[in-house]
Chains A and B, each alone.
Chain A
Amino acid sequence: MKPQSTEKVTAIRPTERTLYYRRSLLLQVWRFLAINWRMTKMILKSHDHVIK
């Protein structure tokens, strides 16, 4: 069977602006901080808890 061609996939593609955002150092520093903050919140919510 022929593998599914990616050309037929109804996937969204990034715009030039999105690709720029992904590479921009300034914006990525901001995303680095934002993702770390988001992950920290999630980790705090996820840790084991005392059974009451």
Chain B
Amino acid sequence: MKIVILGAGVSGHTAALILRRKLGRAHSITVVSPKPKWNWIPSNIWVGIGKMKDHQVTFDLAPVYKKLGVEFVLSKAVEIHPEGDSTTERPFVTVESTDPSTAGTRSNIDYDYLINATGPKLNFEATPGLGPEGYSLSVCTVEHAMETAQRLEQIVLEMKAGKAKTFVIGTGHGLCTCEGAAFEYVFNLEFELRQRGVRDKARIIFLTNEAELGDFGVDGMYLQNAGHISPSSLFAESLFHERGVESIIGAHVHRVDATKLEYETLDGTRGELEFNFAMLLPPFSGVNMAAFDNAGNDISSELFNPGKFMKVDAEYTAKPYEDWAPSDWPKTYQTKYPNVFAVGIAFAPPHQISRPRETPNGTKIAPAPPRTGMPSAIMGRAVANSIADMIRNKSTKATHAASMADMGAACIASAGNSFLSGSAAAITMYPIIPDFSKYPGYGRSVPYTTGEIGLAGHWIKYLLHVAFIYKAKALPFWWVVPE
């Protein structure tokens, strides 16, 4: 059998490792990725403040796949033909080379099973002026993070010369996700400026699409800590207050210019903010891929939602927020084609987790559900296990489930990188999708939903950095490291 995995991020790479371990060499595994390197994205925030270099968060994929007997194709997927075409009944994907020597060349790769783990397209175009090609910075890729660190270095020099500077950190659009990354970057920045003795010259503003601090795109949570159950908004507000970081919540950014940005908040108020340094995350969309049936008809709308995310075994019927249910969320990540799966950012969530809101002017401000990191890896593992069983049992039925309504997440949000004076918020929650019928009152299990900040959190964040890169390199006993 031939398994093709599109994408070598957390989800796709996890699936490749597990499939290789579960299946003999008689079965072929091909990974298609537009980038030659694997990137431990959670540590990009440390690259973005100059605490790590690019080589500490990335490594070349080709030698790892060679060792494992996995074929690696340096290309991006552009078309899916799940029924084959007029010349062949075998399903295939069309890929376009990103190798500098053959860039742009297209070829077809046939498959028996396909995992779409293409991750996000960083949709900077959604906001005029947003992104490294505009006027703001990013830490979404290691290249972006390196550029951000260089800019920070320059600005710190100016501050040391006595100049005051304004930093705006947060989300660059009302529909962004991954607020946690912005949360980490703002506190790492604040810590770094303190370490470098220029904190008094800095005004730091956190601008977010979350309706309240600590929402994180999961409608906030109730955290158990030190004998109390308190909302994550209180926990987060406390951290901002303690560090003197200002905040603008429930905000959509309309445009970013060289030194100022325009935004609108949930009450419809429009404002301008001048800045010297802006690190604003973009919203995500799915990557540009089209799908065709065997007659050559475009069936993209059947396989993808308007945001280009792939539809899987979820309940996509539009309904009011109050009617959304945990059971709407996908379990097996199987699409209408039983041999095609979509995991990680690539699958289409049935709806937001945080309540979607709109300003009086009709601007939508709705944090998108986070599905990176631990959930992505667990989905990759579940699909790999299912495919291995489907091959063994000669079945079309997926055998493993990993619904976000039945899955927890551990998030270690760094707030300063230093072995003796750093800190991080160690947050666990279960389940990711609140379930008020199972957990009345709080929507999540109280014993499993906790949060605390301290130096230990930083040690854990660093341990995870080391452990997950070790695992991704498929070094001896890599499989002992859990997702």
In chain B, positions 192-246 with a C-beta closer than 8 Å to chain A are: 205, 207, 234, 237-238, 240-242, 244-246
Beta-carbon contact of A46 and B407 below 8 Å? yes
Tell whether, in the assembled complex, residue A28 and residue B455 are in contact, meaning their CB atoms are under 8 Å apart. Answer: yes
**Chain A 8-46 interface mask (CB, 8 Å, partner B; 1/0):** 011111100000011101001111100110111111111
In the complex, what's the smallest C-beta–C-beta distance from A25 to chain B, in angstroms?
A: 8
Closest to A44 in B: B482
Q: Are A22 and B454 touching (Cβ within 8 A)?
A: yes
Distance to closest chain B CB from A41 (angstroms) = 8
Q: Which residues of chain A are near B136, meaning CB under 8 Å?
A: none
Q: Which of A1, A22, A46 contacts B269 (CB 8 A)?
A: A1
Most chain A CB atoms below 10 A, which of B244, B249, B271, B456: B456
Give the Cβ gap from B392 to chain A, nearest Cβ, in Å. 13
A11-B240, A31-B452, A43-B483 known; A3 and B423 CB under 8 Å? Answer: no
The segment from B27-35, B397-405, B435-443 found at the interface with A is B397-405
Interchain CB contact (< 8 A) of A13 among B241, B400, B408, B423? B241
Give the distance in Å from the alpha carbon of A30 to the alpha carbon of B450 in the complex: 16
Count of residues in A whose CB is under 8 Å from the partner chain: 36
Question: Cβ of A14: which chain B residues have Cβ within 8 Å of it?
Answer: 238, 242
Bound form: Cα–Cα A42–B408 in Å: 7
Do A45 and B241 form a contact, CB below 8 Å, given A4-B246, A29-B456, A51-B398? Answer: no
Residue B382 CB within 8 A of the other chain: yes
Shortest Cβ distance from B353 into chain A, in angstroms? 16
The A-contacting residues of B in range 298-336, CB under 8 angstroms, are: 331-332
Residues of chain A within 8 A of B205, CB atoms compared: 3
**Is residue B141 contacting chain A, with contact meaning CB distance below 8 A?**
no
Rounded to whole angstroms, the CA-CA distance of A48 and B248 in the bound complex is: 38
A36: chain B residues within 8 A (beta carbon):
460
Tell me if B156 is interfacial: C-beta within 8 Å of chain A: no
> B401 near A6 (CB under 8 angstroms)?
no
Q: Chain B interface residue count: which class?
A: 35 or more
A39 to B449, CA, bound (A): 10
**Do B246 and A49 have beta carbons less than 8 Å apart?**
no
Q: Is B118 an interface residue (CB 8 A)?
A: no
Q: Does B247 contact A (CB under 8 A)?
A: yes
B339 within 8 A of A: no
The reply to whether the CB of B261 lies closer than 8 angstroms to some CB of chain A is no
Q: Which A-chain residue is minimally distant from B375 (CB atoms)? A: A46
Of A6, A13, A46, the residue contacting B247 (CB under 8 A) is: A6
Is B103's CB within 8 Å of the partner chain A?
no
Q: Once bound together, how far apart are the Cα atoms of A32 and B271, in whole Å?
A: 43
Convert B405-442 into 0s and 1s, putting 1 for each residue whose CB lies closer than 8 angstroms to a CB of A.
01111100000000011010010101000000000000
Instruction: Give the CA-CA distance A51 to B313 in the complex, in Å.
Output: 14
**B273–A23 touching, CB < 8 Å:** no
Give which listed residue, B241, B271, B457, B483, contacts A9 with CB less than 8 A: B241
User: Do A12 and B238 touch (CB < 8 A)?
Assistant: yes
Instruction: Please name the residue on chain B nearest to A22 by beta carbon.
Output: B454
With the chains together, A40 CA to B452 CA distance in Å?
16
Given A13-B241, A49-B400, check contact A3 B483 (CB 8 Å): no
B245 close to A46 (CB less than 8 A)? no
Q: Is B448 an interface residue (CB 8 A)?
A: yes
Cβ-defined contact, A47 with B381, below 8 A: yes
Q: Roughly how many angstroms separate A29 CA and B385 CA in the complex, as a whole number? A: 36
Could you tell me if B241 and A3 are in contact, using CB atoms closer than 8 angstroms?
A: no
Contact residues in A for B207 (Cβ distance below 8 Å): 3
On whether A11 and B238 interact (CB within 8 A), knowing A23-B455, A38-B450, A46-B407, the answer reads yes
CB distance from A22 to the nearest CB of B (A): 4
With contact pairs A6-B247, A9-B241, A50-B399 given, residues A32 and B460 touching in the complex (Cβ less than 8 Å): yes
Cα distance, A46 to B460, chains bound together (Å): 19
Chain A residue contacts of B376, Cβ below 8 A: none
By beta carbon, the residue of chain A nearest B430 is: A42
Q: Of A31, A42, A48, which is within 8 A of B456 by CB? A: A31
Per the bound structure, the CA–CA distance linking A28 and B428 in Å amounts to: 18
User: B residues within 8 A CB of A38?
Assistant: 428, 450
Cα of A46 to Cα of B271 in the assembled complex, Å = 42
- Alpha-carbon distance A40/B430, docked complex (angstroms): 13
B453 within 8 Å of A (CB atoms) = yes
Q: Nearest chain-B residue to A12 (Cβ)?
A: B238
Q: Chain A nearest CB: distance from B164 CB in Å?
A: 16
- A35-B456 contact given A4-B249, A47-B482, CB 8 Å threshold: yes
Task: Taking A28-B456, A28-B459 as given, write out 10 further A-B residue pairs in contact, using a Cβ cutoff of 8 Å, ordered by the A residue number.
Answer: A3-B207, A10-B237, A22-B455, A23-B421, A42-B428, A46-B378, A46-B409, A49-B400, A49-B402, A49-B406
A–B Cβ pairs within 8 angstroms, 11 of them: A11-B242, A22-B454, A22-B455, A32-B459, A42-B430, A42-B448, A43-B482, A47-B483, A48-B379, A48-B400, A48-B402
Show the binding face of A for B, using Cβ within 8 Å: 1, 3-6, 9-14, 21-23, 25, 28-32, 35-36, 38-51
